[in-house]
Amino acid sequence: DAKTTQPTSMDCAEGRAANLPCNHSTISGNEYVYWYRQIHSQGPQYIIHGLKNNETNEMASLIITEDRKSSTLILPHATLRDTAVYYCIVSDSNFGNEKLTFGTGTRLTIIP
């Protein structure tokens, strides 16, 4: 029973901002939103996470709606190396007691 819904695939032009949406309408108050990405056949890589406030780090920005039912990952200036599968996950902060569930994610292709 998926807790998040993401588009199967998206394209973005190189140098433009890539905006990846995620719906998590059943998110509960203590659940965080996490984003990971997987480049080709490598292991997934953590990008960013947040609870209710928008977050930014050196890789991306995370915008969470006020009702927390959806979020958007923003890669501000996409490069060809950002081509990957992006996973949006929700999980509570109870350390170690939850089992993160990865769906099939969004396959982002950066177009030269």
Partner 1 sequence: DAGITQSPRHKVTETGTPVTLRCHQTENHRYMYWYRQDPGHGLRLIHYSYGVKDTDKGEVSDGYSVSRSKTEDFLLTLESATSSQTSVYFCAIRGGSSGANVLTFGAGSRLTVL
End-to-end CA distance of the chain: 36
Quickly count: other Cβ atoms within 10 Å of residue 47's Cβ: 20
Single out the residue of 21, 32, 63, 107 in contact with partner 1 (rule: CB under 8 A).
32
Least distance in angstroms from the C-beta of 56 to partner 1: 14
Closest CA to 49 of 39, 38, 64, 65: 64
Single out the residue of 53, 66, 67, 99 in contact with partner 1 (rule: CB under 8 A).
99
Among residue numbers 59 through 88, which ones bind partner 1 (CB under 8 A)? Answer: 87
14 or 51: CB nearest partner 1: 51
Rounded to whole angstroms, the maximal C-alpha distance in the chain is 43
Q: How far apart are CA 42 and CA 83, in angstroms?
A: 12
Single out the residue of 7, 10, 102, 109 in contact with partner 1 (rule: CB under 8 A).
102
Q: Does 100 bind partner 1 (CB under 8 A)?
A: yes
Q: How far apart are CA 106 and CA 6, in angstroms?
A: 6
Window 33-52: contact mask with partner 1 (x via CB under 8 A): -x-x----xxxxxx--x---
Single out the residue of 15, 80, 101, 111 in contact with partner 1 (rule: CB under 8 A).
101
